[in-house]
Chains A and B, each alone.
Chain A
């Protein structure tokens, strides 16, 4: 079953070419994309995604002190290590039965907000936008560039660029104005992060039970002054992105089909509300919904659930195209959750990793990425949810749920309104992200700068609340606990690029089982045991090609835009491994800009 709807077209006799990109650049980690492209009908016919790195976290975590889990799992990812530490601490707090003091929750929220602002900025402006920059568009769609030169930028008053082509030029790598400014902004926002969590990437002040960050007023002042230095950049980024993306829809009719999937989005929620969260499993549905990014699963525009218990119970790790032995005949670690619900053998709590190295065969097993899926209780379908690169699912779930209501961010049921205060050059601004018509490449990319604005706005609120506590003398940031002999825990969070869960089983005070499920296995998964392709594969497969080059000088920019729109981050695929591959006849490996940079 493929999850993309079939498109009716006047078919010409196909002209099929195998094309591969391995390694993919401007991402973190090792990703290869292997496609068959029909140049007669200008569309991608088939796509397989694969990775070539196995590190074995779930193997070497076993038997270690559970309190070390956050320090170790941070190292899963070199860009969002803190999201792993945070998620691990959530899971451990559930297992240990400890609730950190409220100020610690705010400090974690402030760290995470800085992380989202930093990571989305550097990814969008320094990695994604290179695919939309002048140098790239010139080499892939020269006629589009000449149209961009003649097209006025509608939001020029905000961002300062007269034409669409001027914006594209500002995104040229290492030379363009915005590219260079984004690097600088990414440093300021990382400084904000370091004020709360000590170091970036791998934070030094997060512990299960709280934080070690000294809650001096200075830390918050230093954070606030940096946030205000980037607030206008955030407003400009939204305007610039909207201008470029609207131009693409207008100049290339049908571009909405690029990277389009059924709307199958998952968000596990972010930013705890310290006033309600107690980290207990029994009350998870209540405090989960109070998070300042609402968790939710959205299928074809419909909200299926906001309940983290339902989300947890529906998790399934499938095999199919992955190099593993099934573990269904092993002893389960967890038979029932703390509420008495039965836990499936394919649930992360019960997973055992049994690797079977073998040759890469795209008709059979071709990836060490497993296939996380969510079992829809209404239909019995194992859904290949994607994360929309993170922001699309987060904004969609928050908007549709209509729960978040704060001075700076409000969810309306169909949109999210974000208010940012006056900055150095731009006035107070309210931005509105509306639920889009499609879940596609452009909307994934468009959501990213809006979520930067969202995180910046929430940071303002967290600062006010945290300073309120400090001024009231409530400066405790850590709560002590005992590690129990036996316990289970789960953490639900949002890594920058989407859903993140950690499942922990403790026996004899040691880690008996630990399975982190970051966004990338969801997005980069191969075809599962039911034949359902993973989201990268599904989004690329069947997408039209707008690039003007023919097979001989084809760059594959539309395909790369789609893959990058998901914010691929392969170190996340902790189980990934590729066996010695079978030869796939590669007629052509696309090239771009050997003379550029």
Chain B
């Protein structure tokens, strides 16, 4: 029987691009003027799966045309020219739907008495006075097709929302409300990480763009609005030092390739895929390279995890509990490992064939 190849039949299949009822062109308005270090933008440029230039140049099939407006990458010299698309969006005249990306935590303006503000983005053209980040969010969030929070500062407040901070800052969902929905009916899409793992962010953004194109459902999010497939497991579950934990074999200081729980690693209870995915292109990470997990993707970061270099409070009990089990398992595995670390007996250069080969096995 020959395979019947029929290009004619294939061409009758509905063309996804033509068939879908989606958005053809979308603008990404990225504001990094939160309490931030701009590390999420910098991290974004590390992504290669896909890369930001692939996205901007339209090299990913099935996505809408993407206009990226980001201060760090903008070819503009700055000022009003750079702000033009943001101002157009405020007036409702941008000409395409937009995704609002917020980087950095959101300050509390209400704690300030009198003049002043914590962070601004350009000046008010009428008065020449600085225009606050909060003003921009208040204007843009109700009009946004989707809202994405990039990094732990924007998602949960992050390092700048640490206890003792004078700005009273918080995450975007704390500011807009956890039940906020965008024009597309989507909740805020939170991509935590200090900074974002480059590919985690790009993959999420691309999913949102496929959704915009009409070819994908909204990205599945958990109760903290994180993409489920990225943050559904713990660091420990993807860590190549995890089996040392199971064998109750713990590093006493940082000179060791063993489990780092006793030297400050929070991996067993932190939702993050970095040890599994690596930092970029599969390279780097945290515990797998020798870094303790300090919980930088978590809502309680950093206060809940400090002091970072001490054993987490729960670690003492759980590592004690696993000790007898781990000691037995380690010994048994050691014995089996010894056993399987030998050449099978039939490999030799003697005259007799001892491999078990039987020339008559198939009559």
Contact = CB atoms under 8 A, between A and B. Distances in A.
Interface string B154-165: 000011101111
A79 B115 contact: no
A190 interface: yes
Nearest to B128: A583
Which 10 residue pairs of A and B lie closest in terms of their CB atoms, listed nearest first? A204-B291, A78-B39, A194-B284, A212-B290, A591-B81, A357-B116, A78-B37, A65-B307, A212-B254, A580-B115
A199 B39 CA distance: 12
Interface in B138-156: none
Contacts of B128: 581, 583-586
Given A207-B309, A580-B129, A597-B75, A213 B122 contact: no
A492 to B, nearest CB: 22
Contacts of B39: 75, 77-79, 81, 201-202
A155 B281 CA distance: 34
A55 B280 contact: no
Given A81-B37, A195-B283, A201-B39, A357 B115 contact: yes
B130 interface: yes
Interface string B93-129: 0000000000000000000101111111111000111
Given A30-B119, A586-B128, A53 B33 contact: yes
Contacts of A136: 75
A79 B42 contact: yes
A55 B35 contact: yes
A207 B279 contact: no
Contact of A22 (B123, B164, B284): B123
A88 interface: no
B323 to A, nearest CB: 23
Nearest to B118: A54
Contacts, number: 306
B249 interface: no
B207 interface: no
A83 to B, nearest CB: 12
Contacts of B164: 59-60, 62-63
B116 A213 contact: no
A584 B123 CA distance: 11
Given A55-B167, A199-B279, A589 B116 contact: no
Given A56-B166, A212-B254, A478-B254, A180 B53 contact: yes
A69 to B, nearest CB: 10
Nearest to B80: A589
B187 interface: no
B254 A26 contact: no
Contact of A71 (B37, B119, B122, B308): B308
Contact of B308 (A67, A75, A589): A67
A540 to B, nearest CB: 14
Interface of A: 20-30, 32, 52-56, 59-60, 62-65, 67-68, 71-72, 75-79, 81, 122, 126-127, 130-131, 135-136, 173-175, 180, 183, 186-187, 190-191, 193-195, 198-205, 207, 209-214, 222, 355, 357-360, 475-478, 480, 555-557, 560, 571, 577-586, 589-594, 596-597
17 contacts: A25-B71, A27-B72, A30-B33, A53-B118, A55-B35, A67-B308, A75-B159, A175-B57, A193-B284, A194-B278, A198-B284, A478-B253, A571-B38, A579-B116, A580-B129, A580-B130, A592-B75
B315 to A, nearest CB: 17
B72 to A, nearest CB: 6
B306 interface: yes
- Main SS of chain A's interface residues? loop
B328 interface: no
Contact of B255 (A23, A477, A585): A477
Contacts of A53: 33, 35, 118-119
Given A30-B120, A174-B56, A25 B82 contact: yes
A55 B45 CA distance: 24
B255 A476 contact: yes
B296 A202 contact: yes
Given A22-B79, A77-B39, 6 more contacts: A28-B72, A52-B130, A55-B165, A198-B291, A214-B289, A590-B80
B165 A200 contact: no
Given A212-B254, A480-B253, A584-B128, A21 B280 contact: no
B84 interface: yes
A28 B38 contact: yes
Contacts of A584: 128
Interface string B34-78: 011111111101101001110011000000000000011111111
Q: From A56, A204, A578, name the one whose CB has the most chain B CB atoms within 10 angstroms.
A: A204
Contacts of B286: 198-199, 204-205
A201 B77 contact: no
B291 A478 contact: no
B294 interface: yes
A64 B283 contact: no
Contact of A213 (B120, B163, B194, B290): B290
Contacts of A64: 306-307
Contacts of B37: 28, 75-79, 81, 201, 571
A585 B302 CA distance: 43
B242 interface: no
A198 B290 contact: yes
A191 B284 contact: yes
B46 A190 contact: yes
Contact of B41 (A32, A71, A78): A78
Contacts of A174: 53, 56-57, 75
Nearest to A585: B128
Nearest to A353: B166
A120 to B, nearest CB: 14
B77 A67 contact: no
Given A75-B39, A579-B115, A592 B294 contact: no
B257 interface: yes
A204 B291 CA distance: 5
A556 B77 contact: yes
Contacts of A596: 75-76
A20 B79 contact: yes
A292 to B, nearest CB: 24
Contact of A26 (B74, B158, B255, B285): B74
Contacts of B122: 22-23
Given A198-B285, A592-B81, A190 B120 contact: no
Nearest to A586: B128
A173 B75 contact: yes
A212 B302 contact: no
A191 B285 CA distance: 11
Interface in B207-232: none
Nearest to B167: A56
Contacts of A28: 37-38, 41-42, 72
Contact of B290 (A56, A81, A211, A475): A211
Nearest to B71: A25
B259 interface: no
A20 B255 CA distance: 53
B195 interface: yes
A183 B167 contact: no
